[in-house]
Structure 1
Amino acid sequence: MSASNEQTPLVAPTTEEAGFVGSIVKSVFEPGANYAVVMAMNVSFFFLILVLFALAFLTSWNKHVLFLLGVTTLLWAAMLWFVVEISKVQTRPDNLPPADPSDPTFAIPAEPEPKKDR
């Protein structure tokens, strides 16, 4: 036995990013949609449309399956549109979180926007 009283940590701190599933789980606690969630949504919708297309072919183009295929395609398009719009809103400067007073750059005044004439 060594006479050293040093303790080694049981879990080494990691600086690497979480994997794909970890990124999806982490997105639950963050506003907006991150890349992993959007990718999972796109892959899921792609395979759902692929399966519905195959089912439509196997059922001799049943109108009910074609309706489901159309609804799924429209839902995917609506979700993509929503993700684009939410990304636009999140990147606007007036939607950024308020400044932290403990931040050293807090005291720097921002330039006011010019008033617009109506």
Structure 2
Amino acid sequence: MARRPDPVALYERLQADDLDGALLAGLMDYVPDAADACQLPGHADLPDRLQAVQRQLQRAWQARERYRDRAVRLARRDAERDARRSPPPAPDHTPALPSAAAAILARAKARAAAPRGS
């Protein structure tokens, strides 16, 4: 069984503005117990405060995830829009002439190459 995080240590770290330390000490694994309210004299609200910080962190992490998802979605839309706006790529080779046009061109070249005046 996993060791239960010490609520007093978590509270003290939060009071010292050591959020990273509180997270490493198991803040997000904290589950309130009836005896927690009596562990720190003068702070009967200790379980409520720890749970409030848990909820605040969860909301912040969810907001960060939504922001990241939105950034990915906007980047994808921008790429799709840019792809629609850009001209199609130029072909690597010249297109073949239709057979009738090729025959006319061949006759014209043959006449131009023939010696004149004979």
TM-score of the two chains, using structure 1 as the length reference: 0.34
Larger Rg: 2
